[in-house]
Structure 1
Amino acid sequence: MNEASVAPTGHPLAGVVLMCVGVAALSVNDAIAKSLTESYSPLQILFLRNVTALPFTILIALFMGGGRALRSYRPAAHLVRGVLWVAATFLFFSSFRYLGLAEATALIFVAPVFITVLSALFLKDEIGWRRWLAVLFGFLGVLIVMRPGGASFQPAALLPVATALVYAVLMLSARWVDPRESVWTLLVYLTGAGALLGGLVVPLVWVPVDPGDLWLFLAIALFGTAGMTMMTQAFRMAPAVIVAPLDYTGLLWATLLGWLIWRETPDSMTWLGAAIIIASGVFTIFRARRAGH
C-alpha cells in the first residue's frame, strides 16, 4: 500500500501484528461481499459499504490527524482516485459471482507486477532486469491460475486481473496527491468519493434491502474500515519491506473462509500459480524498496 509510505515509528512487531490483523479483517470484508453478491449488485454493495463506513472513517481521521486530516489541497485528484477505487472494487466484487474467494484473491495479487510495468512505461522509473524477470514470472503465475484455452478456463477470471490493473493505477495515482496531505486524508476522501460516485449510479441497480442483511452491510463497513486503518497504521510503525509482503497472508484467509462458508477448495494448479504470483510480488516489493520507489 504505497499511500502509507511514511517514516516508520520504530515498532516493527506492532506493525506486523496490525498488518496481519488488518489483512484478516479485509478478507472477512471480501467474504461478506461475496455472500451479498448473491442478492445484490456489486454497485449497491459498494455504495452501502462506503456510505456506512464514511462516518467511522471521518472519526478515525479526526482522532489520528486532527482537523487538518479533513482538508484537501487537490480535491480533483481525490475525485479521480475515487473513480479508480469504485472501478476496482466493482470489478473485484463482480468476480465473486463466478470465482472462488481464494482464486479471485490469488489473481488480484498480481497488482505489484502491474505497478512495476506502469511505473516503467508512464513514470519512467528505472526497472532493472531482475524486476522485469519478476514481472514475467508474475504473468506466468496468472496464466497458470487462469489456464486460458483449457476446459476449466472462465472468462470471469479476467475480472480480478483487471481489478489488479486498476488498483495499480490507483496506487500510482497517490503521487498526484499534495504531499501535505496525510494518509488519513486519503482514506477519508477515497471513502467519500466512493460513496458519492456510487450514489450516482446505484439507482440503476437498486433493490430493496432485506432487513436480515442489514447487519451484513454494517459488518462489511466495519471490517473494511478497520482493515484499512490497521494496515495504514502498520506502514507507519514498521518498514514497508517488512509489512508489505504480509498482505499475501490474505490468500490463507481467503482459502479458509472459502472452505468454511462455501466448501471451496483450490486445486493444485491454482496453488502453483498463486505461489508464483506471490513470489514475484514479494521480490518486486523488495527490489522496489531497495531502489527507493
Structure 2
Amino acid sequence: MPSTTLDARAQATIGIVLMSVGIASLSVSDAIAKALTAGYSPIQILFIRNLIALPFAIVIALSMGGPGALRSYRPAAHLLRGIFWLLAAVLFFTGLKHLEIAEATALVFVAPVFITAISALFLKETVGWRRWLAVLAGFAGVLVIVRPGAGTFQNESLLPIATAFLYAVLMISARWVDPRESVWTLMLYLVGAGALLSALAVPFAWVEIQSGDIWMFIGIAIFGTAGITLITQAFRFASAATVAPFEYSALIWATLLGWIIWDEIPDMLTYVGAGIIILSGCYIVFREQKLQSEETN
C-alpha cells in the first residue's frame, strides 16, 4: 500500500478524533450553559465565557498562526460576524433554559440545510434538485421535532431554529473576510468581537455571581474554546465529507448529559426528526464535496 494512502488514512483518523472530542467538549459547554441559565442571563454567561476565553484564543492564534494572526484586513467584517455569533448564542442559551438539551441540539443540526437554501435563494448559487430535496427533507425533520399545532408544541422550539439560521449566515459571512487571514484570525476575532459586544449589553443584565458558580463559568470557557479549536483543526486534517458527519455525535452527548443531569429522555419523534435532519445534512455535505471534486478535475 502506498505511503501516501497511509498518510491520508492517518490524517482522516486524526481529523475524526479531533472532531469527536471537539463536539464532546462543546456538548459539555452547552450543558454547563443550561445549568447557568437558571440563575444568569445568556448575555452575562456569554460575556464571562468570552472574557475568560479571550486570553486562550490569543495564545492559540499566536502559537498556530504567529504574530500575523493578530492582524485583520477587514475588522468590520469580523464585527458583523460577531453580531451574528452573539445573537445565535443568546437565542440558543435561551432555548436551552426552556427545552431539553437533546431537542435543542437536534434542531440546531438544520444549519447546513439553511446554508444551502441561503446560498441558492440569496447568493444565486446553483443548487441541483437533489440538494433541494435534501433541504426539504431537513425542514420536514424540523417539523417532526417541533410538531406545530400539536399539544406538545413550544414557542421556545423556534429559538434553536433561529440559532441554526444565524449560524448559517455566520458560516456564509466567512466569505467577507480577507482571504489573507488565517482560520486562527477568524477564531480570535470572533471571540474578541463576542467579548466586546456582550460587554456593551451585560451592564443591563448583570447579577452578582455566586462563589460556587465561578468554576462553572471557567468550565464553560475552557470547554467552549477547546471545542472550537479542536473542530477547526479537524477540518485542517481531513475533508468536510470525512469529519462533518461526526458533528452529529453531539446528539449522543446531549442525550447522555440531559439524562444524567436533568433526567431528560426525548421522545421517539425527536429522534426520528433528528435522524431525518442528520441524513439530509450529510447528503448535502457529500454532494457538495463531490461537485467540488468534479470541478477541480
Cα shift at 1:219? 0.4
State the match for 1:25 in structure 2: 25
Counterpart for residue 117 of structure 1: 117
Query: 1:180 aligns to what?
Result: 180
- Counterpart for residue 4 of structure 1: none
- Letter of the aligned partner of 1:38 in structure 2? A
2:100 match: 100
Which residue in 1 is equivalent to 2:3?
none
One-letter amino acid of the structure 2 residue matched with residue 135 of structure 1: V
State the Cα deviation string for residues 165-204 of structure 1 (Å, max 9, x = none). Answer: 0000000000000000000000000000000000000111
Q: CA deviation at 1:9?
A: 11
Please tell me the root mean square deviation across aligned C-alpha atoms, in Å: 1.2
Asked if 1:165 is matched to 2:165, the reply is yes
CA displacement, residues 147-179 of structure 1 (integer Å, 9 cap, x when unaligned) = 000010000000000000000000000000000
SS at match of 2:98: coil
Larger of the two Rg values belongs to structure: 2
Q: How does 1:252-263 map to 2 (within 5 A)?
A: 252-263=252-263
Residue type of the alignment partner of 1:182: S
3-state SS in 1 of match to 2:180: coil
Show CA shifts across 1:190-222 (max 9, x none). 000000000000111100000110000000000
The equivalent of 1:3 in structure 2 is none
Residue 231 in structure 1 maps to residue 231 in structure 2: yes
Secondary structure of the structure 2 residue equivalent to 1:96 = helix
Aligned to 1:77: 77
For 1:290, the equivalent position in structure 2 comes to 290
Q: Give the Å deviation of 1:292.
A: 2.4
The unaligned stretches of length 5 or more in structure 1 are 1-7
Q: Determine if contact 1:48/1:217 at 8 Å carries over to the other structure.
A: yes
Helix, strand or coil at the partner of 1:73: coil
Contact 1:10 1:238 in 2 (8 A): no
Structure 2 distance, partners of 1:283, 1:46, is 33
Q: Residue 125 of structure 1: CA displacement?
A: 1.1
Moved over 3 A (4+): none
Q: Could you tell me how far apart the structure 1 residues matched to 2:274 and 2:63 are?
A: 38
Q: Distance in 2 between matches of 1:160 and 1:240?
A: 23
Unpaired segments ≥5 residues, structure 2 = 1-7
Does structure 2 conserve the Cα–Cα contact (< 8 Å) formed by 1:78 and 1:186? Answer: yes
**Matches of 1:142 and 1:9, distance apart in 2:** 35
- For residues 58-91 of structure 1, what are the alpha-carbon distances to aligned partners after superposition, in whole Å with 9 as ceiling and x for unaligned? 0011011100011100000000000000000000
Cα displacement string for residues 6-60 of structure 1 (whole angstroms, at most 9, x for unaligned residues):
xx99711111101100000000000000000000000100111001100001001
1:110, 1:184 → 2: CA distance?
26
Q: Distance in 1 between matches of 2:179 and 2:193?
A: 19
Give the Cα separation in 2 of the matches to 1:164 and 1:285: 16
AA aligned opposite 1:65: G
Match runs of 1:130-279 below 5 Å: 130-279=130-279
Q: Distance in 2 between matches of 1:257 and 1:210?
A: 23
Name the aligned partner's letter for residue 40 of structure 2.
Answer: Y
Aligned-partner Cα distance in 1 for 2:13–2:268: 33
Residue identity matched to 1:27:
S
Q: Is the 8 A contact 1:9 1:236 kept in 2?
A: no
Higher mean displacement: 70-79 or 280-289: 280-289
Alpha-carbon contact 1:9-1:238 (below 8 Å) kept = no
> Residue in 2 aligned with 1:41?
41
Contact 1:9–1:237 (8 Å) recurs in 2: no
Mapped partners of 2:268, 2:107: distance in 1: 15
Partner of 2:15: 15
1:231 is aligned with what amino acid? I
Is the contact made by 1:19 and 1:230 (CA closer than 8 Å) also made in structure 2?
Answer: yes
Instruction: State the alpha-carbon separation in 2 of the partners of residues 146 and 171 from structure 1.
Output: 24
